[in-house]
Structure 1
Amino acid sequence: MAKLSAQEIAKLKADIQFTEVLKDKTLQFRSTWGIFSPREIDAGTHLLLKHLDIKEDEIALDLGCGYGPIGLTIAACALKGEIHMVDKDFMAVEYANRNAELNGLNHAKAYLSNGLSNVPKDLQFTTVVSNVPAKVGKEMLSIMLHDIHAQLAPGGQLVVVTINGLRDYMKRNFKEVFGNYDKVKQGKDYTISRAVKE
């Protein structure tokens, strides 16, 4: 690894800034190295948003929000809604809140939570979304699915994007916890899965 000058290091430490059109909404993002996909919106998130139905009054939860692309897109489409974004990484939470402010989306807020551990228990969500990390681990996934089921309003949806390798695993677990599973879209690398609380 080549030794970088102080100037090059300072440049790396500066916020990464970009603008993206998601669901016909132009959003500005700032991010930093160490957060997932810092320079651009990743392909899985693009696929999820392309196939996500959003109502104007969603009470939504973005689980593992990163710097906020999914949660803030929902917020931009659901101006009468309330958007919660959670992540276990404090830098992700900080940038998600900054990006909410940057885009004037004051009905969206991010806070630290491992899964739904810090999400107020009285909240009933109409939509829960997640770009599930490939290395999530089956124990954490089980906890998350049961907690999501408990906090979804009747008729509420859980929509996730995973790598294709996790597709059958998600199908099995969605059916076990929710009693239903819908493969919304399968792309080259990612699958969008949906379950509804009946």
Structure 2
Amino acid sequence: MNDHYYSNKPTSASARQSFEAKLRGYPLKLTSDAGVFSRDGVDYGSRALIEQMEFADNATILDVGCGYGPMGLTAARLAPRGHVTLIDINERAVELAQYNASLNRISNVSFAVSNLFGAVEGKTYDVILSNPPIRAGKAVVHQLFAEAWSHLKPGGSLWIVIQKKQGAPSALAKLEEVFGEDNVAEVGKDKGFRIYRSIRSLE
């Protein structure tokens, strides 16, 4: 049985495949592989979040659970004067994200293999993006939300996408617990997916 994408070292045999995607008007050449999330193409949830996410063109951005990079690399295109850090627990995914950045000549990016925020401890960002690892379980997803708060600058925002049937109501409740009810908003919905933006209060 193949391991799922929330694995540090996938054991499934490599079977790379390439495709193209147009995200926020930018064409991207992408290569994926077995053992990574949504290997056959950019998943609908990530596309929905990519369409909604907003930030300054000089923002510092963290993509948590970057996979092979479609969200983080699109963010890098949208923030040409900023910087995007792409992290994932999956070594194969991070390697692919680096490869795809090079393939598309995107240079305002950096990468790290990281279990949640482990590799960026003590660092803060203007924006955190995540299509949370639902397969890892609710405890991991809710930990991601809780730790995101301390990795945002005051006024910074966490953007996540989650399916209603895969825990959107409990995710919303957790986000409101962490960030405060007035600081969490549903900013979009598409075919059962919910996009939530949570803002760390100015201090």
Moved more, 43-52 or 164-173: 164-173
Amino acid at match of 2:130: S
Question: Is the 2:134–2:141 contact (alpha carbons within 8 Å) kept by the matching residues of 1?
Answer: no
CA distance in 2, matches of 1:161, 1:142: 13
Q: CA 1:178/1:102 → structure 2, altered by over 3 Å: closer, same or farther?
A: same
1:133 positional shift: 2.6
In structure 2, stretches of 5+ residues that fail to align are 1-12
Question: Is the 1:134–1:163 contact (alpha carbons within 8 Å) kept by the matching residues of 2?
Answer: no
1:120 positional shift: 4.1
Matches of residues 72-151 of structure 1 in structure 2 within 5 Å? 72-121=73-122, 123-151=123-151
Percent of paired sites with the same residue: 31
Q: Which runs of 4+ in 1 moved over 3 A?
A: none
Q: Which residue of 2 aligns with 1:197?
A: 200
Please say if 1:181 is aligned against 2:192.
Answer: no
Matches of residues 11-26 of structure 1 in structure 2 within 5 Å? 13-26=14-27
Q: Which residue of 2 aligns with 1:38?
A: 39
CA distance in 1, matches of 2:133, 2:102: 26
1:111-132 Cα distance to aligned partner (Å, 9 max, x none): 11010011141x2211101111
CA distance in 2, matches of 1:170, 1:146: 11
Q: TM-score, structure 1 length as denominator?
A: 0.89
Amino acid at match of 1:148: A
CA distance in 1, matches of 2:37, 2:75: 19
1:13 positional shift: 4.8
Amino acid at match of 1:97: Q
Moved more, 70-79 or 15-24: 15-24
CA distance in 2, matches of 1:72, 1:84: 10
| C-alpha RMSD of matched pairs (Å) | 1.5
Question: Is the 2:15–2:34 contact (alpha carbons within 8 Å) kept by the matching residues of 1?
Answer: no
